[in-house]
Amino acid sequence: MRDALPELTKAGVAVIGISPDKVAQQKKFDDKHGLGFPLLSDTDHRIAEAWGVWAEKKMYGKTYMGIVRSAFLVDEKGSIAATGYKISPKNTIPALKEWLAL
């Protein structure tokens, strides 16, 4: 998202990241990677649950709750215009460009 930010901004897209990480962790991540867009902290998972991305996951035979990496395009009226559940970081920008017809 960071690398595509100038093009997205030019297209009128505002980028916002949301994670269950605490604000201090997000700041450290942003300082390291220089994201250039806001990160919102959702430590109680209310946003993740409301958007259907807080789900049961499995790794190495262990079951736990976690974030399903997803991307959403929200239009100027606040409606979800497109969704990408379980989207990989490398596919997020191509999908977004397709959704926006860029």
56-87 pLDDT, tens digit per residue, is: 999 999 999 999 999 999 999 999 999 999 99
Confidence (pTM): 0.84
CATH code, 47: 3.40.30.10
What is the rounded CA–CA span in Å between residue 5 and residue 17?
12
pLDDT tens-digit map of 14-61: 999 999 999 999 999 999 999 999 999 999 999 999 999 999 999 999
Residue 65: predicted pLDDT: 96
DSSP structural state of residue 83: E
Confidence label for 102 from pLDDT (cuts 50, 70 and 90): confident
Range of the domain at 57: 5-100
pLDDT recorded at residue 95: 95
Give the burial string for 24-40 (b: 16+ CB within 10 Å, else e). Answer: eebeeebeeeebeeebe
Neighbours of 17 (CB within 10 A): 15
Q: How many domains does the chain have?
A: 1
